[in-house]
Amino acid sequence: METNESYLESVKKQFLYYKMLGEKAMHQLEPEQLFIALNEDTNSIATIIKHISGNMLSRWTDFLTSDGEKEWRNRDAEFENDLQSKEEVLETWNEGWNVFFDALNNLNPEQLSQIIYIRNEGHTVVEAINRQLAHYPYHIGQIVFYAKQLKNNPWNSLSIPKNKSGNYNAEKFAKEKEIKNFTDDELNRLK
């Protein structure tokens, strides 16, 4: 049971970390840059966010009792951007994350082995969470990469800045060993 509680706490921190990375990347851009797509085969940041949010709404609404691919979801429409402002983009972003975190926060550790379905394929709750722990950071990495390309001014690093690894490591190794989630320091650094 304790391991399940640790797992839930760890994944919540990791998802929060990736959420914050996406937000810090978006906040470095001018509002209109959120809507730039380089060609027909790429998605704007706004479109990526619309997709992530649509996935979260579908996967995590009543996820213990209904299939994660809801009948009301129109996945293809998620890739047709109709968002018009940065405010709409952030509202869509937060709508998905709120449903997702609400689902995680209401989970009991003993539910982690429960079978749920996504497109009629059975997953344990742990497997469903892990599936999204790969999926959402994949898209957030796209957002960060794209934001760095679009940024007109110098980029404020979201990780260890270039040529600063030695300083970062020296600071870490100057401290006593401790057991904690890597996101504890990272979330504070990014605030």
At 141-160, the pLDDT tens digits run 999 999 999 998 888 988 88
Q: How many CB atoms lie within 10 A of CB 6?
A: 12
Question: In the prediction, which pLDDT does 191 show?
Answer: 63
**Biggest CA pair distance of the chain:** 54
- What residue numbers bound the domain in which 48 lies? 2-190
Q: Are strands 115-118 and 121-124 parallel, antiparallel or unpaired?
A: antiparallel
Domain count, the chain: 1
Question: In the prediction, which pLDDT does 19 show?
Answer: 97
Residue 61: φ, ψ to 5°: -80, 120
* Predicted TM-score (pTM) above 0.85: yes
Question: In the prediction, which pLDDT does 159 show?
Answer: 85
CATH of the domain at 148: 1.20.120.450
Alpha-carbon gap, residue 44 to 37, rounded angstroms: 5
Question: In the prediction, which pLDDT does 188 show?
Answer: 66
Question: In the prediction, which pLDDT does 189 show?
Answer: 62
The H-assigned helical ranges of the chain are 2-26, 45-60, 86-105, 125-150, 165-173, 183-190
Q: Could you say which residues of the chain have pLDDT below 50?
A: none
**C-beta of residue 99 within 8 angstroms of C-beta of residue 60:** yes
